[in-house]
């Protein structure tokens, strides 16, 4: 599939560096890394385990501060913002999906999708209505009253995706969202995720080891010597 234009990126990393210190040595993960994500673009991040995929996603999503460089989201430089400002951006503009669903076990599927909306200030009734719509869209609406332990792995992950987009973020960042699923279920979950991204106009960067899924996205990037490069 041909790559889309990235002339007006919704997400831009410029000269980003990130390193961790272990005992007396420095482990450099990102080094002068540049990356752009266009509006409506879906990018696959493919790299071996330990290459720094999670670090890149966490830095892009403002969960980690870069040691150098800057992250711009929707044209706003974020590296110099306060923790409260970064938290507000994450809550409103960035959605996260992980390999493990991280649903709150004591709440139903519907309530899990409602919670981020209510944190943002939506009323309980409005949050419930949107949560049910999202679960219906993910073809799991009939399981809305079930708690995570009563759902299959694929169902849990579809709830997690619905929760991630509940606040209509600008960017969706996913770290191996189908990594814990069998191939058939992984394809089913990815079908739902791709349809949601395409029809909502979301921009998404998705880390995956599944090359078949990666080939369905607009382009593929990897990490090499701390830099983001096109595959």
Does residue 51 fall inside a structural domain?
A: yes
| Model confidence at 218: pLDDT above 90 | yes
At 116-157, the pLDDT tens digits run 999 989 999 999 999 999 999 888 999 999 999 999 999 999
Does residue 6 fall inside a structural domain?
A: no
| Model confidence at 26: pLDDT above 90 | no
Q: Cα–Cα–Cα angle for 212, 12, 39, nearest 5°?
A: 60
Report the predicted TM-score, pTM, of the whole model to 2 decimal places.
Answer: 0.87
Q: What is the pLDDT at residue 73?
A: 93
Structural domains of the chain, count: 1
Q: What is the pLDDT at residue 126?
A: 96
Rounded percentage of the chain residues whose pLDDT exceeds 70: 97
Domain span including residue 179: 41-63+92-230
| Model confidence at 206: pLDDT above 90 | yes
Question: What value does the mean pLDDT take over residues 75-83?
Answer: 89
| Model confidence at 5: pLDDT above 50 | no
User: Which pLDDT band, with edges at 50, 70 and 90, does 7 fall under?
Assistant: low
CATH number of domain containing 124: 3.40.50.300
Does residue 75 fall inside a structural domain?
A: no
| Model confidence at 49: pLDDT above 90 | no
Does residue 14 fall inside a structural domain?
A: no
31-34's contacts with Cβ under 8 Å and 24+ in sequence apart are 31/225, 31/226, 31/227, 32/68, 32/69, 32/226, 32/227, 33/69, 33/223, 33/226, 33/227, 33/228, 34/227, 34/228
| Model confidence at 213: pLDDT above 60 | yes
Does residue 87 fall inside a structural domain?
A: no
| Model confidence at 95: pLDDT above 70 | yes
Tokens representing 207 are: 């880390």
Determine the Cα–Cα distance for residues 55 and 100; give it in Å rounded to an integer: 17
Does residue 85 fall inside a structural domain?
A: no
| Model confidence at 1: pLDDT above 70 | no
């Amino acid at each position: 599939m041909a790559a889309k234009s990235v002339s007006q990126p919704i997400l831009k990393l410029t000269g980003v560096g990130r390193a961790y210190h272990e005992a007396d040595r420095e482990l450099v993960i990102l080094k002068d890394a540049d990356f752009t994500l266009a509006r409506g673009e879906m990018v696959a991040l493919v790299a071996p385990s330990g290459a720094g995929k999670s670090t890149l996603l966490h830095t892009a999503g403002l969960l980690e501060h870069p040691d150098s460089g800057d992250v711009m989201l929707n044209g706003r430089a974020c590296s110099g913002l306060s923790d409260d400002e970064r938290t507000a951006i994450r809550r409103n503009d960035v959605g996260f999906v992980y390999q493990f669903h991280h649903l709150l076990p004591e709440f139903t599927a519907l309530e899990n999708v409602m919670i981020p909306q209510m944190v943002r200030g939506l009323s309980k009734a409005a949050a419930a209505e949107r949560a049910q719509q999202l679960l219906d869209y993910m073809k799991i609406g009939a399981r809305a009253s079930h708690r995570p332990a009563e759902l299959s792995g694929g169902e849990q992950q579809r709830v997690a995706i619905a929760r991630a987009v509940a606040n209509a973020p600008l960017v969706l960042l996913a770290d191996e969202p189908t990594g814990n699923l069998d191939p058939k279920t992984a394809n089913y979950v990815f079908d739902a995720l791709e349809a949601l991204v395409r029809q909502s106009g979301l921009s998404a960067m998705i880390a995956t080891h599944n090359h078949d899924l990666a080939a369905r996205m607009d382009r593929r990037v990897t990490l090499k010597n701390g830099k983001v490069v096109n595959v």
